[in-house]
Amino acid sequence: MNSQAFLAKSGMSLDDLGFKLAFVGGTMVIDCPEIKLIQKGAASPRVYTAPGFIEAGAQSGIQIRLVCPRPLSEPYDPFGFFKQDQGYTAGVVLPSDHYFQLEARDIAGNVWTCPSGSLSRVDEEQCLVLMFSATHLRMEEPSRTQRSYAHLVFLDDLEFPKNSVQTVIVERAGKIQSRETNRHGSAGVLAGMKVSYTPKNNNPDAKYAALTALADDGMSPPLGFEDRLIEAIRFCTASLATPVMTEVNLEGVKVIELSIARPTNRGLVQPPISQHHGHDSDFYKLFECYYNYACENASGRDYAPLSARLGGCTH
């Protein structure tokens, strides 16, 4: 990966353009003075702790490399881990103790976690070289604002109906040379939230589209409302669009999640309502109806029944 250090800071947000470009473009490196890997499902779990760094990209996923002092409980055996891997049977689901969970504190004090990932290692006489791979990374911190919102970043253009007018003015020597007005992006309202959608940008190295749902003052969406938004987006766009970055602020907690990209899988079925200009009112009415349906019928992290049938799976 051609990487460059990403300067982690307190109060990170998807409003930070550099943050988005680094992850979408696959150049994010987060320096961490402490990375902890904890074995899952073992009576006496192995725990490895050392400084290191996180490489993260929408296409490549989460990669971590760190060098740990050799624990006294693990004498030097360059073939021990290899022999353990050879004990697994082809076609059989790997046991839970094959996987590790992650806790990492970056240089700004942010704590990044991942519930499960795979670990490979190289045994040296004095140390262990560990490589951790995962598809998901999460950071949670107290909110700095009471207003609820969800910010979702996609690699694909969702093609919402363009109904937001943008005016570009070109000046030269203090005089207006040209003025161009066009429709760029989309905006609407659903269930007490203002929704805005920005189509893919022109950056050749990190193209992405973004959707923001901002709740009205004093209005609190239900827990997991970002998943209900995704269900409604999928229904209205006839795709399996999945965000690679999310930021959700709800009930005093802000959560940022980074995920490896999944195929959008646009099929032969067309969206239920045309996404061209002139149909934006109907589009947002349908968007709201399906969002409300999902909120009423979803259970936890599982999708509503119709969403599961259309997508062929749950969350």
Work out how many domains the chain is built from and give that number: 2
Q: What is the mean pLDDT of residues 197-220?
A: 88
C-alpha 288/C-alpha 33 separation (Å) is 45
- Looking at the structure, tell me whether residues 299 and 189 fall in a common domain: yes
Q: What is the mean pLDDT of residues 88-108?
A: 75
- Looking at the structure, tell me whether residues 209 and 269 fall in a common domain: yes
The DSSP output letter for 218 is: T
Q: Find the range with the poorest average confidence among 36-40, 78-82, 162-166.
A: 78-82
Q: Within 13 Å of residue 153, how many CA atoms lie on the same side as its CB?
A: 28
297-315 pLDDT tens trace: 998 778 899 998 877 544 5
Of 136, 157, 179, the one marking the end of a domain is 136
pTM: 0.85
- Looking at the structure, tell me whether residues 73 and 180 fall in a common domain: no
pLDDT of residue 51: 94
CB contact at 8 A, 186 and 280: yes
For residue 270, is pLDDT > 60? Answer: yes
27-41 pLDDT tens trace: 999 999 999 999 998
CB contact at 8 A, 257 and 136: yes
Q: What is the mean pLDDT of residues 127-142?
A: 94
- Looking at the structure, tell me whether residues 180 and 201 fall in a common domain: yes
Mark out the alpha helices in 70-183 (DSSP H runs).
80-86
Helix crossing, 225-237 with 280-297: angle to 10°? 130
Contacts of 138 (CB under 8 A, 6+ apart): 112, 113, 114, 255, 256, 257, 258
- Looking at the structure, tell me whether residues 117 and 147 fall in a common domain: no
Radius of gyration of the chain (CA): 23
Of 120, 136, 152, the one marking the end of a domain is 136
- Looking at the structure, tell me whether residues 48 and 103 fall in a common domain: yes
More confident residue, 166 or 301: 301
Strands (E), the chain: 4-5, 28-39, 47-57, 61-69, 99-105, 111-123, 127-134, 136-142, 149-154, 165-172, 175-183, 186-190, 193-198, 209-215, 245-250, 253-259
- Looking at the structure, tell me whether residues 164 and 53 fall in a common domain: no
- Looking at the structure, tell me whether residues 184 and 200 fall in a common domain: yes
For residue 181, is pLDDT > 60? Answer: no
- Looking at the structure, tell me whether residues 289 and 234 fall in a common domain: yes
Task: Round the average pLDDT of the chain to a whole number and report it.
Answer: 85
- Looking at the structure, tell me whether residues 116 and 64 fall in a common domain: yes
- Looking at the structure, tell me whether residues 231 and 180 fall in a common domain: yes
- Looking at the structure, tell me whether residues 280 and 174 fall in a common domain: yes
Question: Which stretch of DSSP H or E encloses residue 237?
Answer: helix 225-237
Residue 303 structural domain: 143-311
Of 106, 136, 166, the one marking the end of a domain is 136
Q: Is 144 helix (H, G, I), strand (E, B) or coil?
A: coil
